[in-house]
Amino acid sequence: MRALLALFIGVHVYGAATFITKEEYAASLYHNPRGIGCQMCHGESGEGRRIAQYKHKGEKKIFEGKPINKIPFSLFYHAVNSKIVGMPRYYLTDTEIQTLYYYLHREEFKRAAAKRRKSH
Ligand code: HEC
């Protein structure tokens, strides 16, 4: 996990000539990833969200977007690159997927970075 954190904090997702912060870029990508925003199905912070509840052949069915803010990066990466029933296919780049993961874990990353700064 430590190595992973270092990897993410080290990632430069924008060039020197951009005027938005990493936070703003990550937030905008989460809400507008060249398709339906992730928050529509997974909630504002990736906490998961019930999309619909209906009855099928008398049975109660629930359609929901799972929580995605507590899963390891490997699972997140694999899932976003796969065909998932009920989820649009996005064809995101590796940097975009890393940015989305950063967005969902930004507080943890910031805390880890602050801790590292302190210990130097
Ligand atoms: C239209 C609804 C919808 C949207 C929009 C959507 N998803 Fe999903 N997503 C789903 C559904 C449904 C699943 C499968 C849930 C299940 O298996 O129970 C899923 C599964 C996932 C999983 C796998 C979770 C796990 O534990 O296996 C990840 C990661 C994920 N989505 C990330 C994203 C990201 C990132 C975005 C935005 C780029 C996004 N999703 C947008 C509906 C959506």
pTM of the model: 0.82
Which of 66, 73, 96 maximizes ligand 1 atoms within 8 Å of its Cβ, making it the mutation to test the pocket? 66
Q: Average model confidence (pLDDT) for the chain?
A: 86
In a domain, 120, yes or no: no
**Mean pLDDT, rounded, for 50-62:** 92
Note whether residue 110 is domain-resident.
no
pLDDT value of residue 102: 97
How many domains is the chain partitioned into structurally?
1
36 lines ligand 1 (CB under 6 A): yes
Q: Quick one: pLDDT band at residue 119, thresholds 50, 70, 90?
A: confident
Could you tell me which of 75, 77, 108 has the C-alpha nearest to residue 95? 77
pLDDT digits (tens, 9 = 90+) for 67-79: 999 999 999 999 9
Other CB atoms closer than 10 Å to residue 15's CB: what's the count?
6
Contact 31, 37 (CB under 8 A): yes
Query: Residue 76: which domain range?
Result: 2-97
Residue 63 lies in a domain: yes
